[in-house]
A and B are shown apart, each in its own frame.
Chain A
Amino acid sequence: MYRYDDIDQRLVDERVAQFRDQTQRFLAGALSEDDFRQLRLRNGLYVQRYAPMLRIAIPYGLLSSRQLRKLAGIAQKYDRGYGHFSTRQNLQLNWPKLEEVPEILAELATVEMHAIQTSGNCVRNITADHFAGVARDEIVDSFVWCELVRQWSTFHPEFNYLPRKFKIAINGASVDRVATFVHDIGLHAVKNSADETGFRVIVGGGLGRTPIIGHVIREFLPWPQLLNYLDAILRVYNRYGRRDNLYKARIKILVKERGLEKFRAEVEAEWAHLKDGPATVTEEEIRRIEARFTRPRYEKLVDVDFPAAKTPFAAWMKRNVHPHQQPGYAVVTLSLKKTGVPPGDVTSEQMSRIAQLAEDYSFGELRVTHEQNLVFADVRQAELNSLWQALRELGLATPNIGLLTNIIACPGGDFCSLANAKSIPVAEAIQRRFDDLDYLHDIGELDLNISGCMNACGHHHVGHIGILGVDKNGEEWYQIEIGGNQGETRPGVSAATKATPTALGKVIGPSFARADVPDVIERLIEIYLKRRDSEAERFVDVVRRLGIEPFKIGVYGNPDQRTTDRRRILAAA
C-alpha cells in the first residue's frame, strides 16, 4: 500500500469538507440540480434507478485489510450490507442516502480512502495490473507509476472539466493484463536498446457505443517525461475535443476525426514546450513513492511440490493459483463468480472475513481485478491448502478463473437507470447451464462479458463471447458477439507463444430473448468443441481462424435456410 503523508491526507480531508458544503448548498436550494450533478459525480455519486449509487475509489485496485474492514462497516451501516466490485476496480454501494454521503466520505478518509473522480468528465481511477509487484514478467512495478499518475490526476486544475471521462491504464509487465488498447490512454512499460525504462504510449482506444482499438502515438517515452506527455495529450484533448455531442466527446473520436498523424503532431508540438519543464519526473520522487509503499517481508522459502491429482483442491490450484516472483510463494485469485451470486458482489460479512484472511495469509493486503475478482498476492505455498479450505467455506473458491463462468457483468437493469436489459439474471442462467466442472474445464479459457446497454461497462466488446442488452419495442433482448479479446491477460502464459492482440467482437446476427441466451451459448460451445484442433486451441482462437460464419450457421441455420425462413415469415405476415 502507498501510505499517505500529511499532504495527501489533508487534500482528502479538504475534499470531504468541500463536498459536505456542496451537499448542504444543494439541499438548501442554493445549488441547482444540474450544477450539483457535476459536483457529486466527481465524488462518485450517481442518482440511479432506485436509489443513489456511490462509487468508492480503490486506486489501482490495491486495498488493505484495514480498508476492507472499513468498507464492510460502511456497507453495513449506510447500505444493505453488501457492495459490488466493478470492472473499474472500484466498489459500488447501491443504496446509500444522499444526505449521508458526506459522512461516508469522512469515514473513508480515516482509512486513506475517498470517492474522488470515480465519475464525471475527468481523469478516472487508473486501471492497473492486479499482479503488479509479484508477476514474473514484470518490467517495472506499475503501482509506483500508478501512484505518480494518481497524484498528477487528482484535482488537476486544468483538466477537471474535460469534454468527457478519461481512463488511463498502466501496464508494467511484458504481458498486457490491463487492456491498454481499449483505454483513452494506455501506458505500457518498455525498455529501449540502452536498457532504459520508458513507456509505449497508446491513445484513443475505448469501448462504449463506438469501440475503437487504440493507436501507438509514441513507441518510447523516457519515464521522466511521463507527466509532461500526459499534460500535452490532455491539453490537446481539452482544447479540441468535442463538447457539442456527448457521443463524440471521447478522445477516441478526436483522434479519429483528426487522423492519428495530425493528432500526434499536435501532441508532440505541445510536448516540445513542456519537455524538461518543472513537471519532469525526478528520480527522487520515484524513490520517495517507492519508500511510501509497504512491502511484504518475504521469508526465504523453496517451492512446494504439488502432485497432479483429480481433486477439487487441484482444480482450484490449476485455475485460481498463479506463479509468483518469490520461491515458495503464490498468487491466489478469490472468485466472486459463484453461481447464483451477482458477479462482483460481496457481503459485509464476507468483506470482514476476507480482510482477516488477507491478514492471516497475505500480509494484510489484497487487490481488486478488472474481472471483478479479488487477489491475494503473497500467499505461502505451504498454506495454500488451508487458505483454500477457508475460502471454500466463504464461497470464494470456485475454480473458474479464466473459464466461461467467470463472467464479467455490469449491474444492468436491476440497478442501472441507463440499462436496456438486465445482465445479472443472464449471467446466472449461463452459470447454471454450465455447472458441470469437468465440462467447463474441458471448454478451457473463455471470457464471457455482459453489458446491459451499449455503454459497455461489462466490456462485452472484448469478451470472447460478448452479450449486449438491447431494447426491442420496450422488451429486453440480447445481441451476441464473438471473437473479442481484451489482450493477453492470463498469468503464466508466455507472451511469445500465446499473446493475442486486443480485438473487438463481431455480432453474429439478430438478437435473442433472454430465455434463449443459454441455448445459444451452448450451441456456440458445441461448434467450438467440434471445430477445435486441440485442447490448446481456445474458443477465441477458433473464431479467429474460421471467422464467425460457422458459428452463425450453427446458431441461425445456413444462409439458404435463413432466406427460406425469412420468406416464410414474410409470407405469413
Chain B
Amino acid sequence: MATLIKERRIVEESSRPPELVLLQPSDDPAALVDRIGGIAAITAIAVNFPKFGDGGGYSIARLLRERYGYQGELRAVGEVARDHLHAMAQCGFNVFELRAGEDPEEALKGFGDFSEQYQATTAQPAPLFRRRAGP
C-alpha cells in the first residue's frame, strides 16, 4: 500500500501499475526515446529519489517533459516528502508517491510553499522576468 498525491488528491494504491517504467537518477532518459514505439508508447514513468537530499531526478523530469515531449504520468518515488513537492511539481511531476510516514493532508500544503518562482520551468515555461510588468 502506498499513498499517492495525484491531481492534488490523496489516493491509496495497493500496487504500482505494471506498465510503470522506473528510472534511477543516473539513468539516461534518452534511452526511452530509442525504445520501440518511442516515448509516446509509454504511459507511466517513475523517477526514483533515493535520498532526501538527492536531486538528480529533477533534471530527469525536465528532460522527459521539455526535451522528449513526454505527456504521460510522471511519478516521483522514493524519499518524497512534503518539502519537495513544490519543486517537483515545477519540474513536471504529476504523481507523488509519498514516503512512509508522511502525513498526506499536511503534505498537500507543500504545493503552496511558494506562490511564484523566478525561473523558467516545466510548469511555468516563461521565467518571471518575461511576466513581470514594468520596473
Cβ-defined contact, A238 with B55, below 8 A = yes
Q: Give the distance to chain A from B24, nearest Cβ to Cβ, in Å.
A: 11
Given contacts A14-B114, A291-B135, contact A278 B125 (CB under 8 A): yes
Q: Do A22 and B83 touch (CB < 8 A)?
A: yes
**B21: interface (CB < 8 Å):** no
The answer to whether the Cβ of A154 comes within 8 Å of any Cβ in the partner chain is: yes
Is residue B100 within 8 Å, beta carbon to beta carbon, of the partner chain? no
The closest CB in chain B to the CB of A287 belongs to: B135
Q: B115: which A residues are within 8 A, CB to CB?
A: 10, 14
Q: Is A121 on the interface with B (CB-CB < 8 A)?
A: yes
B:77-109 near A, CB below 8 Å: 81, 83, 86-88, 90-91, 103
Question: B128 at the A/B interface (Cβ < 8 Å)?
Answer: yes
Question: B114 is contacted by which of A11, A22, A152, A158 (Cβ under 8 Å)?
Answer: A11
| B3 beta carbon closer than 8 Å to chain A | no
For chain B, residues 103 to 135, give those with C-beta under 8 angstroms from any C-beta of chain A: 103, 113-121, 125-130, 132, 134-135
Contact assessment for B87 and A155 in the assembled complex, using a CB-CB cutoff below 8 Å: yes
| Residues in B whose Cβ lies below 8 Å from that of A18 | 113-114
Q: Decide if A151 touches B118 in the complex (CB within 8 Å).
A: yes
- Which of B25, B67, B121, B132 is in CB contact (< 8 Å) with A288? B132
Instruction: Say yes or no for A498: interface residue by CB 8 A criterion.
Output: no
Asked if A235 and B59 make an inter-chain contact with CB atoms under 8 angstroms apart, the answer reads yes
Q: Are A159 and B135 in contact (CB under 8 A)?
A: no
Q: How many A-B residue pairs have CB under 8 A?
A: 105
Q: Are B91 and A38 closer than 8 Å at their CB atoms?
A: no
Neighbouring A residues of B25 by C-beta, 8 Å: 239, 243
- Is A155 within 8 A of B114, CB to CB? yes
Q: Is the interface of A mostly helix, strand, loop or mixed?
A: helix
List residues of chain B with CB within 8 A of the CB of A158: 55, 58-59, 62, 87, 91, 119, 121
Q: Which of A7, A34, A277, A292 has the most CB of B within 10 A?
A: A7
User: Quick check: A7 and B128 within 8 Å, CB to CB?
Assistant: yes
Q: 1/0 contact trace for A227-243 toward B, CB 8 Å?
A: 10000000100110001
Known A35-B52, A243-B54; judge A157-B132 contact (CB<8 A).
no
Q: Known: A35-B81, A273-B67. Contact between A288 and B54, CB under 8 A?
A: no
Residues of A within 8 A of B116 (CB): 7, 10-11
* Complex: chain A residue closest to B109, CB-CB: A21
Assess whether A98 is interfacial by the CB under 8 Å rule: no
Distance, CA A82 to CA B117, complexed state (A): 34
In A254-284, the 8 Å CB interface with B consists of 273, 277-279, 281-282, 284
Interface residue B72 (Cβ < 8 Å from any Cβ of A): no
A277 touches B114 (CB 8 A): no
Give, as a whole number of angstroms, the nearest-CB distance from A486 to chain B: 31
B36 to chain A, nearest CB (A): 24
Nearest B residue to A34 via CB reads B52
Distance, CA A476 to CA B126, complexed state (A): 54
Within 8 Å CB of A299, what residues of B?
A: none
Residues of A within 8 A of B60 (CB): 239
**For A39, what are the chain B residues with a Cβ–Cβ distance below 8 Å?**
83
Once the chains bind, are A282 and B129 in contact (CB under 8 Å)? Answer: yes
Given contacts A155-B87, A278-B126, contact A160 B132 (CB under 8 A): no
Q: What A residues does B53 contact at CB under 8 A?
A: 38, 121, 161
CA distance A93 to B25 in the complex (A): 37
| Cβ-based interface call for A156 (8 A) | yes
The answer to whether B127 and A279 touch across the interface, beta carbons within 8 angstroms, is yes
From A5, A157, A243, A281, residue with most partner B Cβ within 10 Å: A157
Q: B118 touching A154 by the CB < 8 A rule?
A: yes
B residues within 8 Å of A by Cβ? 25-26, 51-56, 58-60, 62, 67, 81, 83, 86-88, 90-91, 103, 113-121, 125-130, 132, 134-135
Could you name 27 residue pairs across A and B whose Cβ atoms are closer than 8 Å? A5-B132, A14-B113, A14-B114, A15-B114, A18-B114, A38-B52, A38-B53, A121-B53, A121-B55, A152-B118, A157-B88, A157-B91, A158-B55, A158-B59, A158-B91, A161-B53, A161-B58, A238-B55, A238-B59, A239-B25, A239-B59, A239-B60, A243-B51, A278-B126, A278-B130, A279-B127, A285-B132
Across the A-B interface, give the 4 residue pairs with the lowest CB-CB distance, nearest first.
Answer: A161-B55, A157-B87, A157-B90, A285-B129
A contacts, CB < 8 Å to B: 5, 7, 10-11, 14-15, 18, 22, 30, 34-35, 38-39, 121, 151-152, 154-162, 227, 235, 238-239, 243, 273, 277-279, 281-282, 284-285, 287-288, 291-292
